[in-house]
Chains A and B, each alone.
Chain A
Amino acid sequence: MTAGTQQQQLVADLSREVVARIAPQELPVFRAHSRAYFADQGQVLRGGQGQDEMLGFGVGEAVAFLTPVVLPVMTAVVQYLTVEVTKSARAEGATLIGERVKQLFKRFRPAEATGEYGHAASPPVLTQEQLGQVRQVAFEKALQLKLSAERAGLLADAVVGNLATAAT
């Protein structure tokens, strides 16, 4: 698995988790959105309304999907974290950096006692300041993708909520 593919998989996994938390009704459409996003990032954001308006029937207003926003937001967050981890571990290879980024998230965090890092390399954690920066990255990206401030805040909180902090 290349570093790029590894990062895509990480973004997809984390995005799914965020969607499950703040818009669980979108889980059935998540896989398709994720696949389309990684194939052509513009396609998902443009969305698509393939319904034949003349012969179709339904609610007047389209659904405002959150998944197409979560994916690029999470991409931005993972990219930010990659830069941060790289700064503190310049000597490590790209794959290893990817692993360290993964472990910043609670979901991928190994148990302290059995972790692969053992005593020599404990799983990384983020400071409160870094967490604040991650939230800002997520919030701004969501606003840039035309999400309302309220929903952008909700999304940014959900993203940050997935991250491991020193206290966890």
Chain B
Amino acid sequence: MRADSTAAPRPARLNPFAFPSDTDFRFALLIVSVLGTSLFVYNWLFHAIPLLRDPWLAAMVRCADLASAAFPDAADPIARAGKQMMEAECGAPYERTRAAWLLGGTALVLATASALYWVYPAWRIQRANLAPLSAEDAPEVVTALDALCREVGLARPPTFLWNPLDAANGGTAFGRLGRYYVALSGGLVTQFYVDPAVFRSVVLHELAHLRNADVDKTYFAVAVWQSFVLVGLVPFALSFLDFDERLRTVLDLGWRICALAALVYLTRNAVLRAREIYADVRASIWDGPAGALDRVLATLPRDREGGWRTLVAAHPDPAGRRHALHDTASLFRTRPWEAFGVGVVTSIAIENVWSLLAALTADMLVAVLGPTVLFVPLAAGFLVLAGWRATFAGLAWNEAPRGLGLGRVEPRLGPHRRADRGIR
């Protein structure tokens, strides 16, 4: 059985797997945004916690006094330089303490994220009452799952789990490095007997996540957001409880942290959306034109609001997903918000890493160049990738890419589209 949208022969699709995926790119963006934002938060916390702030402040004042006494002539440029150097040398141990605090805070965010990522599979198995799906439970289903794993060429098949009481009609791939699971609901297992094509499509979609190697990125992205909230945002909010600060400062910091948190959250959701489209496309290759993937996607509830909500949603719009099954152009196009996001994330990271390096070293060249060397490749990589993909798509479709990265490559459906580089 085929849905209307699959009734017409599919045009050849360009192969998005020939390029680094949006999932990878957005995941890198997420990690950088978390690093930058964590440095910002922990820098603030350093100044908000008296136990940390007071000795540092006292040392800075003392060093400034000592330097002023040693180089009293403020009009002499050499004396001014000497004063600056003396201040920096005198305050260096205290600045290193601050740098250690910043690094420790950021490491805490990442360590907590790693711990959450690591324990999540066990927690989920227990919470969702998942048990291994054995041949004793459903022999035909187990045989079919083995066959599907072989068919798609998974080097290491996942452990299939299920919750027979779960009436949902779906599956989820999850796990951690080297240990992956695919959980099936009881509803989906019964679907195997009622509509095997739907069962196959859903399982192929989950196996596609494993083949695309996005499970670790996904669950680390989820964990890093949770960790950021737990050991970043919560301490940040608590710091205001015991901090006698003017409302203006509170508001000034408040909107910044809200914007930064929103950035991290949106980037996380962008990772989650991207992985779904890539998994759909991969699964559709395996499922073939007669597969039921399009039919399954057609049953998903569509976000009626549309617009900005699609940027906030953790799942891509089903209509867009269905479209990507037949036309992968969206995976070759770079959206303006992505370019904007790269700019914002890079700026935040550069500024905060500069602050960190300035605390670690008196060498301003290192402090200024360090973040640049670290993060400019990210922005450059984004531009190169965007241009590369757009040019590839443009050549394949006999169209010149409009602009670098931001250009919309509108594929024209029709006989003139070249299919020689496509996938089916």
Task: Take A25-B194, A54-B315, A55-B174 as given contacts and tell me if A36 and B300 are in contact as well, using a CB distance cutoff of 8 Å.
Answer: no
Whether A93 sits at the interface, judged by CB under 8 Å, is no
- A58: chain B residues at CB < 8 Å are 168-171, 185, 187-188, 202, 296
CB-defined contacts of A113 to chain B, threshold 8 Å: none
- Contact: B127 with A50, CB < 8 Å? yes
B202 adjacent to A50 (CB under 8 Å): no
> What's the least CB distance linking A24 to chain B, in Å?
7
A56 contacts B171, C-beta separation under 8 Å:
yes
A108 in the interface, Cβ–Cβ < 8 Å?
no
Indicate if A168 sits at the interface (CB-CB under 8 A).
Answer: no
- Does A155 lie at the interface of the complex (its beta carbon under 8 Å from any beta carbon of B)? no
**Residues of chain A with a CB closer than 8 A to B170's CB:** 51, 56-59
Q: Which residues of A contact B169 (CB under 8 A)?
A: 58-63
* B40-68 vs A, Cβ < 8 Å mask (1 yes, 0 no): 00000000000000000000000000000
Given A49-B185, A54-B315, A55-B272, also A28-B171 (CB < 8 A)? no
Which of B130, B191, B299 contacts A50 (CB under 8 A)? B130
Q: Which residue of A lies closest to B165 (CB)?
A: A48
User: Is B167 an interface position by the 8 A CB rule?
Assistant: yes
Q: Which of B119-177 contact A (CB under 8 A)?
A: 124, 127-130, 137-138, 141, 163-172, 174
- Does B166 lie within 8 Å of A50, measured CB to CB? yes
Interface string of A22-50 (1 = CB under 8 A from B): 00111011011100100000011001111
By a CB distance below 8 angstroms, the chain A residues around B307 are none
User: Which residues of B in the span 192-214 have a Cβ within 8 Å of any Cβ on A?
Assistant: 192-194, 198, 202, 205-206
**A28/B166 in contact, CB under 8 A:** no
Residues of B within 8 A of A43 (CB): 165
Complexed CA–CA distance, A133 and B172 (Å): 46
* Interface pair A36/B165, CB less than 8 Å apart: yes
Q: With contacts A49-B185, A54-B314, A63-B169 known, is A28 near B299, CB below 8 A?
A: no
**Identity of the chain A residue whose Cβ is nearest the Cβ of B301 in the assembled complex:** A60
- Determine if A32 and B164 form an interchain contact, defined as CB atoms under 8 angstroms apart: yes
| Contact B188 A48, beta carbon cutoff 8 Å | no
Whether B187 and A65, one on each chain, are in contact in the complex, defined by CB atoms closer than 8 angstroms, is yes
Sort chain B's interface into a size bin.
35 or more
Q: How far is the CA of A11 from the CA of B118 in the complex (A)?
A: 43
Residue B276 CB within 8 A of the other chain: yes
Complex Cα gap A56–B276 (Å): 10
The reply to whether B190 and A26 contact each other, CB–CB distance below 8 Å, is yes
Does B411 interact with chain A (Cβ within 8 Å)? no
A-B contact count (CB 8 A): 124
B193 touches A50 (CB 8 A): no
Q: Which residues of A contact B188 (CB under 8 A)?
A: 58-59
What distance in Å separates the Cβ of B119 from its nearest Cβ neighbour in chain A? 15
Indicate if B356 sits at the interface (CB-CB under 8 A): no
Mask of A117-154 contacts with B, CB within 8 angstroms, 1/0: 00000000000000000000000000000000000000
Q: Does B353 lie at the interface of the complex (its beta carbon under 8 Å from any beta carbon of A)? A: no
B193 and A57 contact, CB distance less than 8 A: no
- Alpha-carbon distance A64/B169, docked complex (angstroms): 10
Q: Are B171 and A33 in contact (CB under 8 A)?
A: no
* Chain B residues within 8 Å of A57, by CB: 170-172, 202, 205-206, 276, 279, 296
A143–B327 CA distance with the chains assembled, in angstroms: 47
Residue of B nearest to A66 (CB): B190
Q: Of all chain B residues, which has the CB nearest A30?
A: B164
Q: Are A47 and B165 interface neighbours, CB within 8 A?
A: yes
Convert B283-303 into 0s and 1s, putting 1 for each residue whose CB lies closer than 8 angstroms to a CB of A: 000000000000010011100
Q: Are A49 and B168 closer than 8 Å at their CB atoms?
A: yes
Asked if B370 is an interface residue, CB under 8 A from chain A, the answer is: no
Say yes or no for B39: interface residue by CB 8 A criterion. Answer: no
Residues of A within 8 A of B141 (CB): 28
A48 lies within 8 A of B218 (CB):
no
Contact A55 B218 (CB under 8 A): yes
* B386, CB-defined interface residue at 8 Å: no
- Distance in Å: Cβ of B390 to nearest Cβ of chain A: 29
Chain A positions within 8 Å of B222 at CB level: 55
A48 & B163 in contact (Cβ 8 Å cutoff): yes
Q: Is B82 an interface residue when CB atoms closer than 8 A count as contact?
A: no
Q: Is B186 an interface residue (CB 8 A)?
A: yes
Closest Cβ neighbor of A50 among chain B residues: B128
Q: Give the docked Cα–Cα distance between A13 and B311 (Å).
A: 52
Partner of B168, one of A24, A28, A36, A62: A62
- Specify which chain A residues have a CB less than 8 angstroms from the CB of B191 in the assembled complex: 25, 59, 63
B302: nearest chain-A partner, CB-CB: A60
B189 contacts chain A at the CB level, 8 A cutoff: yes
Least CB distance from B245 to A in Å reads 37
Contacts A55-B172, A56-B172, A58-B202 given; indicate if A29 touches B190 (C-beta within 8 A). yes
Residues of B within 8 A of A33 (CB): 164-165
Contacts of A51 in B (CB 8 A): 128, 166, 168, 170-172, 183, 185
CA distance A49 to B170 in the complex (A): 10
Whether B167 contacts A59 by the Cβ 8 Å rule is no
Q: Given A50-B128, A55-B172, 6 more contacts at CB 8 Å?
A: A25-B194, A29-B164, A58-B169, A58-B188, A59-B170, A63-B190
User: Could you list 9 examples of A-B contacts with CB < 8 Å?
Assistant: A31-B137, A48-B129, A52-B124, A58-B168, A58-B169, A58-B171, A59-B198, A62-B167, A63-B191
Which B residues contact A (CB, under 8 angstroms)?
124, 127-130, 137-138, 141, 163-172, 174, 183, 185-194, 198, 202, 205-206, 218, 222, 272, 276, 279, 296, 299-301, 314-315
